[in-house]
Chains A and B, each alone.
Chain A
Amino acid sequence: MFKKFLILTFKGIRYRTLRSWLTILGIVIGIMLVVIIFALSGGIQKAVRDTLQMFGSDLVVIFPGKETNPLVGFLGGQKFREKDLMALENIEGIDFVIPMDVAMMNVEFKGEKKSVMIHAAPWKRYSEVLESSQGVNLAQGRWPLSDQVNETVLGYLTAKSLFKKNVWPGDEIIIKSKRMKVVGTITEIGSQMDDNVIFVSLEIFRNLTGNRGGTGTALVKLKSGADINLVTRQIKFQLGKQEVVRDFSVLTPEKADKLVGNVLSIVELVLIIIAFISLIVGAVGIMNTMYTSVLERTRQIGVMKAIGATYDNILSLFLIESGMIGLFGGLLGILLGLLSAYGIGAVVARMGIRGIFSWSAVDYYGLFAVLLITFITGVIAGILPARQAAKMEPAQALRYE
């Protein structure tokens, strides 16, 4: 019975091809947007989380700016005094502090110029932290012998694909007009951002930038068994006494993860609101179409009633129809949304950021929920028009011209 009604409705929808498609389109656009953003937000979240995992669990990062808005501090270019940071080593539980800095610089290799993120830190301790806490190892060559020599280590992609020709240990590159000898390359970390870097010593970095005393960030390595929360509080207290950088953040891996989660959940909330609004707009579209179609089919409703259709029959026919329009809209929106997300992912990957979209990261239960919601929306939007149709008196409907 239901199957026959379904077929009946489907034929009705197909009979009014253009209008049906336009109504479906009203749902498609909203759902497509939502699916794109959700599919990508998962990827972005994953990419950010992957990067965060770089930090070992025994590391704390200090950077200027409020925790809630870390980018401002970074971009603002505020610098700590190195001695304020190094003084933190007196805190019990801290093994050592690595002052660090980053900047984009022009790098030339065999006449080819590129802009690359330069990471700077004292070699000895930094290489130790990279290897022990962050699982980053040398792929080729060695670490530089001291902070004073003009030697550098390249990230995986910098060596492999940044320049037309591969850069090998022993090659020479020019960073901001200073000749540096490449002595090693490191293994692939897996994120575009982390693999496209060049490491230099903090001393050389300061020579390059001309900025002598300041340090952008610091990596704090804890002693094993130290209470990370206690140490964090102590760092905040002690660093609060210096007056160069008023707002600063002490970020533990746990907190960083939470922070990213917060930002993304706000984004998701906004998206849900947008999705909700677009769904309402779509529903109004369905309702409009259904009212028109009830009016247009008044005569046929009269005929169907004359040959024995009950109130419930007519009601279900129209409800199935509006539900199906919603469902088609949802289905098509999801398909187009996924395809677009895939396309965007592919384009962004070409620009250097990979892993934004992956089929395995798609939340298929979520998509099913979207489908269910569009179907229910369709049915709800159809209730009033369907009731109007079902209530018609057959003779009156048959007279309708």
Chain B
Amino acid sequence: MSSQKISDHRPKEPEKVIDPVCGMDTGKLEKTIHYVWKGQRFSFCGPECRERFEKNPGRFKKEPLIILRDVRKIFQLSGVETQALRGVDLHIWEGDFVVIIGASGSGKSTTLNMMGLLDLPSSGAIQIKGRDTSTLSEAELAAMRSRAFGFVFQQFNLIPWLTAFENVALPPLFARQEVNEKKLISLFKDIGLEERMAHRPKELSGGEQQRVALLRALANNPDIIIADEPTGNLDSETGEKILKMLIDLNQQQKKTLIIVTHDASIAKRADQIITLKDGIVVANHRAHMAYI
């Protein structure tokens, strides 16, 4: 695993020892767990990653769905440089429910944006489904966003001048696919919004808007759902409903679900919890809830 060195050109640094499950650089950690399996030596960030590995070593010998390798992001805010990400190493596995937590300003949304190709790293490498994204053109990035990812935002972010139905029909349009109206209508029926299809976003409640946004995220049938605080603008009951819909997608349709949240109760249900602090991953398992 340590041979997976991408775009690391700093001289004289010891070889990275990557946790095969969560992708963290264990060389940066104070404590690591060493483990030998079938004669091969592995380093884990903690007991949780080791346990996951032990349960199904074959799964983690394959290539992760998303790899972030020493990803850094520097923002220029009115001339002042701000380091939003200071070397993030991560693995996301296909079919997992992943939660990214951290205080505000910790870089969790930036990390999510990197994974969803909404933003490009200042340095470091991102690999999605085996493709190094730094080699992709603008059009290829757009195509990947459109087909591989479905996005759900805290602010719902529906296009205000389009009806609910038209909002959901946008992703196929941009992906140059024929809009299957029957399929979209049946999706609306499934979530009980078929009578609100012709309404504009401002005529819908927050929960309705987020359900429409969820449909929009699913319109191109992506493998990965990315949600940035999807329940942040909803009351707890409605939020719980949306969350259940998201988790159902993960459990029933085996979609990889990545959620950024403040909410510890959401985190408890996840397969993997990534905790960020000051732009780096400080923990990658359940034990470090203290950082939320």
Q: How many angstroms between the C-alpha atoms of A250 and B119 in the bound complex?
A: 80
Nearest chain B CB to A56 CB, angstrom units: 67
Q: Chain A, 296-328, contact with B by CB distance < 8 Å: what is the 0/1 string? A: 000110111111111111000000000000000
Residue-by-residue, is B169-208 near A (CB-CB < 8 Å gives 1, otherwise 0)?
0110111100100000000000000000000000000000
Contact flag A15-B161 (CB < 8 Å), given A307-B216, A398-B118: yes
| B113 interface contact, C-beta 8 A | yes
Interface magnitude class on chain A: 20 to 34
**Any B CB within 8 A of the CB of A393:** yes
B203-241 vs A, Cβ < 8 Å mask (1 yes, 0 no): 000000000000011001000000000000000000000
- Determine whether the beta carbon of A396 is less than 8 Å from that of B119: yes
- A310 and B160: CB pair below 8 A? no
Q: Across the interface, name the chain A residue whose C-beta is closest to B119.
A: A395
Interface string of A1-23 (1 = CB under 8 A from B): 10011001001101100000000
Measured in the bound complex, the distance between the Cα atoms of B169 and A1 in whole Å is: 12
A184 interface hit (Cβ, 8 Å): no
Known contacts A300-B159, A312-B139; is-contact A307 B118 (Cβ 8 Å): no
Residue A64, interface by CB 8 Å: no
**Interface size, B (range):** 20 to 34
Q: Is B120 interfacial (CB 8 A cutoff)?
A: yes
Q: Which residues of A contact B17 (CB under 8 A)?
A: none
Tell whether A385 is near chain B: CB-to-CB under 8 Å.
no
Interfacial chain B residues near A309, Cβ < 8 Å: 142, 146, 174
Binary CB contact string for chain B from 238 to 262 against chain A (1 if under 8 A, 0 otherwise): 0000000000000000000000000
Please determine whether A311 and B138 come into contact, CB atoms closer than 8 angstroms: yes
> Taking the complex as formed, is A26 at the interface, i.e. its CB lies under 8 A from any CB of chain B?
no
The answer to whether B160 and A15 have CB atoms under 8 Å apart is yes
* CA gap between A14 and B160 in the complex, in Å: 12
Give Cα distance in the complex from A73 to B162, angstroms.
68
Q: Is the CB of A308 within 8 A of B145?
A: yes
A311 touches B139 (CB 8 A): yes
- Please tell me if B2 contacts chain A, counting CB pairs below 8 Å: no
Q: When each residue 338-355 of chain A gets 1 if its CB lies under 8 Å from chain B and 0 otherwise, what string results?
A: 000000000000000000
- Which B residues touch A282, using CB under 8 A? none
Are A394 and B119 in contact, with the CB atoms below 8 A? yes
Would A310 and B139 count as touching, CB distance under 8 A?
Answer: yes
Task: Map CB proximity to B onto A363-401 as digits: 1 under 8 Å, 0 otherwise.
Answer: 000000000000000000000000000000111101000
Q: Separation in Å of the A121 CB from the closest CB of chain B?
A: 73
Q: Mark B150-171, 1 if CB is under 8 A from A, else 0.
A: 0101000111111000100011
State whether A307 and B171 are in contact (beta carbons under 8 Å apart), knowing that A12-B161, A398-B153 are contacts in the complex: yes
Having A11-B162, A299-B157, A303-B153, one finds 7 other A-B pairs with CB under 8 Å, namely A304-B159, A305-B142, A307-B174, A308-B174, A308-B220, A311-B142, A394-B118
Binding site for A on B (CB under 8 A): 110, 113, 116, 118-120, 138-139, 142-143, 145-147, 151, 153, 157-162, 166, 170-171, 173-176, 179, 216-217, 220
Closest 3 CB pairs between A and B? A308-B146, A15-B161, A395-B119
17 pairs, CB–CB < 8 Å, chain A vs chain B: A1-B173, A11-B161, A15-B160, A302-B118, A303-B153, A303-B157, A304-B159, A306-B145, A306-B157, A307-B146, A307-B151, A308-B143, A308-B145, A308-B174, A393-B120, A395-B113, A395-B118
